[in-house]
Structure 1
Amino acid sequence: MPPIKVAVLGECVADAFATGSASQGELTLRVLPGGSPANTAVALSRLGTPARFLGRISHDSFGAMFRAHLEDSGVDLSRCVTADEPSTLAVATLDESGQAVYSFHAEGAADWAWSTAELTSERLGHVSCLHTGSLALVRAPGAERVEELLGQAAARATVSIDPNVRAGLVDPAVYRERMPAWCALADIIKLSDDDLECINPGESLDRVCDTWHAAGARLVVVTRGSRGATVSVDGERATVSAPATEVVDTVGAGDSFTAGLLHRLHTSGLLGGRLDILGLDQARDAAAFAVRVAALTCSVAGANPPWARDLDG
């Protein structure tokens, strides 16, 4: 196996999609592997960037599904913990535009139970980049351990964070309170425009980006759905357009974008430090590639990101 370049830390989630008629007293759940960090690791590996997933994966039936999905995509699971706690379940409802709204069943789940002895620099290993985000950043008791590892990794690797706000499960005030600390730890902050509005309601993108740059983040990327994405490097900003896409659903699109962004930064030789030589043109190029990856994910059902061959041409 080639040297691991990106480690992704966080949760696996069983995404359950309801079919049938509730009015007739019966629903059928179609369960697919998901979870923002796991989706990102899968997408990275499929694009060709060697990826390691750091997670606590349950030994239940959902956990077996996660392992098979990650391994089939080439993700390194050698540093995962096999956990006694159950997997996290999310029941998704799709609106008319294919946007998913989730209800989470996450209490006492394996994903959040990291101990200090489990989550160490030794488990992380030598990587160019550590990416994390979503519920792993905010769910006790593991969230504190995650932040500690980010601080340790920052001395030798690029740190990337996607808050991926889950307002139905975690009060947005928690994200608002933690953002300065995350920006101090991270070189890359990536989030959606919906996340931005949840964390800093009513504030302009320019103002928020400048605040987060001042707190320490070198690169801020805001995805904007069909409008593409905005990149901000130390206050210089540019926007990239999204390709026209026939959307099946948007599940996993943001995670695929993150993977595309990190993959392009990796292949450009930019990961592995503080992004000191990153310029706006390079950030724009990485985001333009990332929106293509996200668009392909939107064109199929579920979090099923493309392989490198799907982007040829």
Structure 2
Amino acid sequence: MTRLKFAAVGDNCIDRFGPPLSQSLVGGNAVNVAVQLARLGHRALYFGAVGEDTDGRRTSTALAANGVDVTYLRKRPGITAYTDIEITPSGERIFVHEDFGACAGYRLDDAETAVLKTMDHVHIGWLDDGGALRRTLAAAGVSISQDISVNADPADLGIAGLSVVFASAGDDHGKAETMLRKLLDDGAPLAVVTRGSNGSIAGDGLERVEIGSLTVPVVDTTGAGDSFIAGFLAARIAKRPLLDCLIAGRDHAALTCTHIGGFPQEPQPF
């Protein structure tokens, strides 16, 4: 296997689950993608910010323990981001409150951006920069992806310059097809839409492929979408066929569903 160079930029957070779990885990789209790419054997760098607190040290330790390069993990004043999550009796997760903490206002400097330009691929998570990094990297010809379901503010979204656009439609087949068509009509060179337990679809304007999900004993779906992204990207940047990329994403997401959190870790009480 060729060892590729990836970077993930943006969000990290402490997922704080209420009763009955009453525990917390390290997560965030960019963090989970970086960890999963490293666990797949690739070089993975994480660019983001944590607070100068216990949760910040916890996040840095978790990244490094999974083989992620934390050279560019920055400490900023304030707290490390967190998300409060309630679990319904049926097991559904409800996101109650989110504080972006040190992630809010995080920007890369010129030296850090120069490092990103040397990567085989850069994935952008939640980043409130109005799309500035995406445009800069695209102008430099860097391969970039983003999950547009992560950023809620339209000012931070935009698909111009992205090599791969990821989106989530839940379990809705019709919504997924509509999203795929719109992304392609808007100029996405490659769009990938996940459909929860119904699998995923992808298209590049010439080819359209789809695949169902694997049946596994589901422990927790947190971070499964991020693992899908990592598996898909590892296959895509290695120039594997589009269907193989969906299979790689599906299999990696399924594995994540069999344990607590977006990657294997020891939960802490909350």
Q: TM-score, normalised by structure 2?
A: 0.86
- Tell me how far apart the structure 1 counterparts of residues 58 and 246 of structure 2 sit (CA, whole Å): 31
Q: Does the 8 A contact of 1:296 with 1:305 survive in 2? A: no
Q: Which residue of 61, 64, 67 maps to 1:68?
A: 61
Equivalent residue number for residue 237 of structure 2: 266
Tell me, yes or no, if structure 1 residue 222 matches structure 2 residue 227: no
Identity of aligned residues (%): 27
Q: CA RMSD in A?
A: 2.8
Equivalent residue number for residue 14 of structure 1: 14
Which stretch of the first structure deviates more once superposed, 148-157 or 246-255? 148-157
Q: Does the 8 A contact of 1:100 with 1:249 survive in 2? A: no
Q: Which has the higher helix share?
A: 1
Tell me, yes or no, if structure 1 residue 185 matches structure 2 residue 185: no
- Tell me how far apart the structure 2 counterparts of residues 245 and 97 of structure 1 sit (CA, whole Å): 18
Structure 1 residues 99 and 253: alpha-carbon distance in aligned structure 2, compared to 1, 3 A threshold: farther
Unpaired segments of 5 or more residues in structure 2? Answer: 266-270
1:136-151 alignment to 2 at 5 Å? 136=127, 142-144=128-130, 147-151=131-135
Q: Which residue of 114, 117, 121 maps to 1:122?
A: 114
Structure 1 residues 97 and 297: alpha-carbon distance in aligned structure 2, compared to 1, 3 A threshold: farther
Equivalent residue number for residue 275 of structure 1: none
Equivalent residue number for residue 226 of structure 2: 255
SS of 1:194's equivalent? Answer: coil
CA-to-aligned-CA distance 1:231-256 (integer Å, 9 cap, x gap) = 11115312112111111111000000
1:51-200 alignment to 2 at 5 Å? 51-96=44-89, 98-106=91-99, 109-115=101-107, 117=109, 120-133=112-125, 135-136=126-127, 142-144=128-130, 147-154=131-138, 155-165=140-150, 170=152, 174-175=153-154, 179=157, 182-194=158-170
CA-to-aligned-CA distance 1:73-117 (integer Å, 9 cap, x gap) = 11111122111121111112234554422223416x100222464
Structure 1 residues 243 and 162: alpha-carbon distance in aligned structure 2, compared to 1, 3 A threshold: same
SS of 1:37's equivalent? Answer: helix
Q: Does the 8 A contact of 2:144 with 2:161 survive in 1? A: yes
Equivalent residue number for residue 268 of structure 2: none
SS of 1:31's equivalent? Answer: strand
Q: Does the 8 A contact of 1:41 with 1:53 survive in 2? A: yes
- Tell me how far apart the structure 1 counterparts of residues 19 and 175 of structure 2 sit (CA, whole Å): 39
Query: Larger C-alpha radius of gyration, 1 or 2?
Result: 1
Tell me, yes or no, if structure 1 residue 293 matches structure 2 residue 252: yes
Q: Does the 8 A contact of 1:119 with 1:149 survive in 2? A: no
Structure 1 residues 96 and 263: alpha-carbon distance in aligned structure 2, compared to 1, 3 A threshold: farther
Unpaired segments of 5 or more residues in structure 1? Answer: 21-27, 137-141, 271-281, 307-313
Structure 1 residues 115 and 42: alpha-carbon distance in aligned structure 2, compared to 1, 3 A threshold: closer
- Tell me how far apart the structure 2 counterparts of residues 119 and 103 of structure 1 sit (CA, whole Å): 37
How far is the alpha carbon of 1:69 from its aligned partner?
0.6
Tell me, yes or no, if structure 1 residue 36 matches structure 2 residue 54: no
Q: Does the 8 A contact of 1:53 with 1:76 survive in 2? A: yes
Q: Does the 8 A contact of 2:81 with 2:103 survive in 1? A: yes
Structure 1 residues 67 and 165: alpha-carbon distance in aligned structure 2, compared to 1, 3 A threshold: closer
Number of aligned positions between the proteins = 263
Q: Which amino acid aligns with 2:144?
A: V
